Amino acid sequence: MPRIQVLSDTLVNQIAAGEVVERPANALKELLENSIDAGAQSLNIELMAGGTKLIKVIDDGIGIEKDDLALALHRHATSKIKDFDDLQRVGTLGFRGEGLASIASVSRLVLTSRFDGGAHAWRVEADHGRLSDAEPAALALGTSIEVHDLYYQLPARRKFLKSDSTEFAHCAEMVNRLALANPDKQFTLSHNGRASLRLMRGDVHKRCAAVLGDEFVQSAVAIDERAGPLRLWGLAGSPTLGKSSRDAQYFFVNGRFVRDKVIQHALREAYRDVLHHDRHSAYCLFLELEPEGVDVNVHPTKIEVRFRESGAIYRFLLTSLTRALSATKAGAVPAGVD
């Protein structure tokens, strides 16, 4: 047996990258979440070759100070939490401080940022973990991050990437999720130099119409139910809408897209009486609860959560949804009709 040795930072980051950035869409998620956490109002996304050649996100958020640029790419370095108490009630999308470090270890990453009030921007480049010195750069405001050639130097990983069009579809779906949860922000997306999506600021109904279609919004039931610290709101696809597909199922917990067994079970039960077996409901629903009531630190991608009181959550969801859906059966007015 060889002797035990401590792995290099780059290798540690590359191991983490296997979990955090499975494919371009996951890298894009990390970048967009950072922009949202930085208070951006406008997020511009440029992709080349499904994100495998380039993922670029430009935001108008608070920016990063020159002296923090290298830290932003450092593993376990974050401005979002400081201690265990903060971890118990995370209010930002990120907090693990490993997104950028992971991406930068498996790509060539260029980070340009102009901190709020700074005279000009600064730029650093990380080539598979090797970091350059900061140089002055031009940027109106906010932050621009370019991820070039993701997994280019890791053929074993690259092999798992699908065609450009499939990777692009995953990226576009990731944008849809973040856009639905942030209707007050503008999103633009281009692929290979061609505009693909432009979402202007608006409310959830407008955003749902733009992403899920007018037909969904017009026939969906508006829900807004509260019980103590719990609130469920959004649009539940009408059982009468035949074309619903599994793809159009969006559930957010405190603004974060999640997939969760408790939630899925409640939704299935609520829809069971009103849907035929072969149909799938479409929905865009938001559950809000106190941050202490949900643990988001279950998996590096944070798509899974754990509720402290999962029984209470299940009952609340089932009661709220059943009430809303049975109201449609009785001929209530759908959300899109004034």
State the nearest-atom distance from the C-beta of 14 to ligand ADP, in Å: 15
Judged by CB, which is closer to Mg ion: 99, or 234? 99
- Return the DSSP state at 103: H
Site string for ligand ADP, 136-165 (x = CB under 6 A): -------x----------------------
- Return the DSSP state at 59: E
For ligand ADP, which residue of 45, 48, 54, 64 counts as binding (CB under 6 A)? 64
Question: Residue 12 interacts with ligand ADP (CB under 6 A)?
Answer: no
Question: Residue 38 interacts with ligand ADP (CB under 6 A)?
Answer: yes
The three-point CA angle 53-35-42 to 5° equals 95
CA atoms within 13 A on the CB side of 20: 27
Taking CB within 5 to 8 Å according to partner kind, which of Mg ion, ligand ADP, none is near residue 232?
none
State the nearest-atom distance from the C-beta of 255 to Mg ion, in Å: 14
State the nearest-atom distance from the C-beta of 76 to Mg ion, in Å: 12
The Cα-based distances of 146 to 28, 53, 305 in angstroms read 10, 10, 30
State the nearest-atom distance from the C-beta of 35 to ligand ADP, in Å: 5
Judged by CB, which is closer to Mg ion: 237, or 300? 300
Question: Residue 30 interacts with ligand ADP (CB under 6 A)?
Answer: yes
Question: Residue 281 interacts with Mg ion (CB under 5 A)?
Answer: no
The SS3 assignment for 4 reads coil
For ligand ADP, which residue of 28, 43, 100, 266 counts as binding (CB under 6 A)? 100
State the nearest-atom distance from the C-beta of 62 to Mg ion, in Å: 14
The Cα-based distances of 88 to 84, 85, 91, 177, 297 in angstroms read 6, 5, 10, 25, 9
Angstrom distance (rounded) from CA 35 to CA 61 = 6
State the nearest-atom distance from the C-beta of 244 to ligand ADP, in Å: 34
The Cα-based distances of 3 to 6, 181 in angstroms read 10, 49
Q: Which residues contact 287 (CB under 8 A, 6 or more apart)?
A: 230, 231, 232, 251, 252, 253, 254, 263, 313, 317
Q: Which stretch binds ligand ADP (CB under 6 A): 77-85, 222-230, 265-273, 274-282?
A: 77-85
* Tokens 């956490």 -> residue: 37
Question: Residue 99 interacts with Mg ion (CB under 5 A)?
Answer: yes
Question: Residue 94 interacts with Mg ion (CB under 5 A)?
Answer: yes
Are 123 and 134 within 8 A, CB to CB?
yes
Alpha-carbon dihedral sign for residues 199, 118, 37, 135:
positive
Question: Residue 129 interacts with ligand ADP (CB under 6 A)?
Answer: no
Number of CB atoms found within 10 A of residue 264's CB: 13
Question: Residue 121 interacts with ligand ADP (CB under 6 A)?
Answer: no
Q: How many residues bind ligand ADP (CB under 6 A)?
A: 22
Taking the alpha carbons at both ends of the chain, their separation in whole angstroms is 73
Question: Residue 34 interacts with Mg ion (CB under 5 A)?
Answer: yes
Question: Residue 62 interacts with ligand ADP (CB under 6 A)?
Answer: yes
Angstrom distance (rounded) from CA 41 to CA 257 = 19
Taking CB within 5 to 8 Å according to partner kind, which of Mg ion, ligand ADP, none is near residue 97?
ligand ADP
Q: For strand 186-191 and strand 194-199, is the pairing parallel, antiparallel, or unpaired?
A: antiparallel
* Chain contacts with Mg ion (rule: CB under 5 A): 34, 94, 99
* Chain contacts with ligand ADP (rule: CB under 6 A): 30, 34-35, 38, 59, 61-64, 72, 78-80, 94-101, 143
